[in-house]
Structure 1
Amino acid sequence: MIATKVHGQMRKGPNGKGLSRKAILSEIDHSLRRLGTDYVDLYQIHRWDYGTPIEETMEALHDVVKAGKARYVGASSMYAWQFQKALFTAERHGWTKFVSMQNYLNLLYREEEREMLPLCEEENIGVIPWSPLARGRLTRDWEETSNRSESDIFGKSLYAATEDADRKVAAVVKEIAEDRGVPRAQIALAWVLQKKPVTSPIIGATKPHHLEDAVAALDIQLTADELRRLEEPYVPHPVTGFV
Structure 2
Amino acid sequence: MEYTTLGSTGTTVSELCFGTWRFGRETNGVVETDRGEAHELLDAAWDRGVNFIDTANVYGTPNGKSERFIGEWLEDYDREDFVLASKVYFPFDGWGEPGPNDSGLGRKHIRRQIEGTLDRLGTDYLDLYYIHRWDDDAPIEETLRTLNDLVREGKVHHLGASTMAAWQLTKALWTSDVEGVERFEVTQPLFHAAYRDDVVDYLDVCADQDLAVCPYSPLAGGFLTGKYERTDDGVEAPDDSRGAIDPRFDEYYVSARGWEVLDEIRAVADELDATPAQVALRWLIEQEKFTCVPIVGARTTDQLDENVGATDISLSDAQHDRIAEARYDEEGRRWGHRD
| Normalised TM-score (structure 2) | 0.66
Of 192, 199, 207, the match for 2:284:
192
Residue 127 of structure 1: how far off its partner (Å) = 0.8
SS in 1 for 2:222: coil
1:81-160 → structure 2 map (5 Å cutoff): 81-111=167-197, 114-143=200-229, 144-146=236-238, 147=240, 148-160=242-254
Give, in whole Å, the separation in 2 of the partners of 1:112 and 1:65.
32
1:191 CA drift (Å): 0.5
* Displacement of 1:113: 5.4
Which digits, 9 at most, give the CA deviation of each residue in 1:33-72, with x for residues without a partner? 1111111111100000111111111111111111211111
Aligned partner (choices 296, 315, 318) of residue 203 of structure 1: 296
What's 2:331 paired with?
none
Aligned equivalents of 1:212, 1:55: Cα separation in 2: 43
Secondary structure of the corresponding residue to residue 41 of structure 1: strand
What is residue 213 of structure 1 aligned with on the other side?
306
Shift of 1:208: 2.1
1:65 equivalent in structure 2: 151
Contact map agreement 2:256 2:336 (CA 8 A) in 1: no
Please list every run of 5 or more consecutive structure 2 residues that lacks an aligned counterpart in the other structure: 1-82, 230-235, 328-333
User: What is the distance in 2 between the residues matched to 1:22 and 1:64?
Assistant: 13
Aligned to 2:66: none
Q: Is the 8 A contact 1:190 1:222 kept in 2?
A: yes
Amino acid at match of 1:170: L
For the Cα contact (< 8 Å) 1:111–1:236, is it kept in 2? no
Question: 2:285 matched to 1:180?
Answer: no
1:226 alignment counterpart: 319
Match of 1:2 in 2: 84
Change (3 A) 1:104 1:237: farther
Structure with the larger helix share: 1
Q: Distance in 1 between matches of 2:170 and 2:249?
A: 28
2:91 counterpart letter in structure 1: Q
* Partner deviation per Cα, 1:196-229 (whole Å, 9 max, x = no partner): 3133110002222333333322232212221232
CA contact (8 A) 1:111 1:237 kept: no
* 1:61 partner letter: L
Larger strand proportion of the pair:
2
The answer on whether the counterparts of 1:7 and 1:19 sit within 8 Å (CA) in structure 2 is yes
- SS of residue paired to 1:186: helix
Alignment of 1:40-51 (within 5 A): 40-51=126-137
- 1:171 CA displacement: 1.3
SS of equivalent to 2:161: strand
Q: Provide the rounded CA distance (Å) in 1 between the counterparts of 2:117 and 2:248.
A: 26
* Number of the residue aligned with 1:241: none
Shift in CA distance, 236/57, structure 1 to aligned 2, threshold 3 Å: farther
Distance 1:229 1:99 in 2: 30
| Equivalent residue pairs, number | 236
Shift of 1:232: 2.0
Q: What RMSD over aligned residues (CA atoms) do the two structures have, in Å?
A: 1.8
Unaligned runs of 5+ in 1: 239-243
Displacement of 1:159 after TM fit? 3.0
Q: How far apart are the structure 2 equivalents of 1:220 and 1:113?
A: 26
